[in-house]
Amino acid sequence: MRPLGVLVLVLGVTGGIFYWTTRAAEKPAPPPPAPQVTEQPKQPAYTEGTASPDGIGKFFHGREISQVMGHPGIGWLERDEREQEEAPTRAIKALELPKDAVIADIGAGSGYYAFRISPQVPDGKVIAVDIQPEMLTFLKDRAKQLSITNVEPHLGTIDDLKLPDASLDAALLVDAYHEFSHPAEMLASMHRALKPGGRVFLLEFRAEDPRVPIKPLHKMTEAQARLEFEAAGFRFISNRRQLPWQHFMVFGK
């Protein structure tokens, strides 16, 4: 081979090597190894413990859930002193519902609140949700007696409202939430059933006030209610301190 041929060959080979090594350097760097994630043990939603006389031995965020008030308690729900103890007229006015609002009274019982709310929503309705069929029978009979057509008795289950998604403008829970045996599931169900911007009105006897003559498991503190609702994705809006014995807490979706 002539010297010129040798030179061309050498240049060609080194050029090729240079090209390939440069291309290799241009290749994107391999992705960094995935960070090591240590599995966090999931906090159980519920814990079990010794049941208090009126509790069920099941705890949610540290609060023992109370036993459900059975339908023989309808007489107590309909007691005359309620206006003086709970000021329901004032509470209902403070809901400030538009005439066409659809509101669920969750844990409606005999419908003490539902029937008093119905005139506020002549173009809407009150869905009176309960898990006890006896309460629903009472609600249906009472609606007939009063000729009220915009209170709709509705059977839910212990962990599901059984209402369509985004169908409610508001939800009201009076002296009921503390006895839900599956509050986490009920909160999720409520969240789904509310329209965006929907409100929850939570009325519970004030546990901070020893003068409120109600058994401890049937009362709640504002801090506890906020803990449970905020963990479920609700936004605390206010606690209107205007009722004799109860908190009047407002949460938004």
* Pairing mode, strands 168-174 and 194-206: parallel
| CA gap 152, 165 in Å, rounded | 17
Q: Which is nearer to ligand SAM, 19 or 129 (CB)?
A: 129
Residue 204 binds ligand SAM (CB under 6 A): no
| CA gap 115, 77 in Å, rounded | 13
Residue 132: CB minimum distance to ligand SAM, A? 4
Stretch of 116-124, 125-133, 220-228, 229-237 lying at the interface with ligand SAM (CB under 6 A): 125-133
| CA gap 204, 220 in Å, rounded | 6
Q: What are phi and psi of 63, to 5 degrees?
A: -95, 130
Nearest residue to 106 (alpha-carbon basis) of 142, 153, 63, 146: 153
Q: What are phi and psi of 194, to 5 degrees?
A: -80, 145
Residue 36: CB minimum distance to ligand SAM, A? 42
Residue 168 binds ligand SAM (CB under 6 A): no
Q: Which is nearer to ligand SAM, 65 or 121 (CB)?
A: 65
Stretch of 12-20, 24-32, 146-154, 172-180 lying at the interface with ligand SAM (CB under 6 A): 172-180
Binding residues vs ligand SAM (CB under 6 A): 68-69, 77, 106-109, 112-113, 129-132, 135, 156, 158, 174-176, 179-180, 186
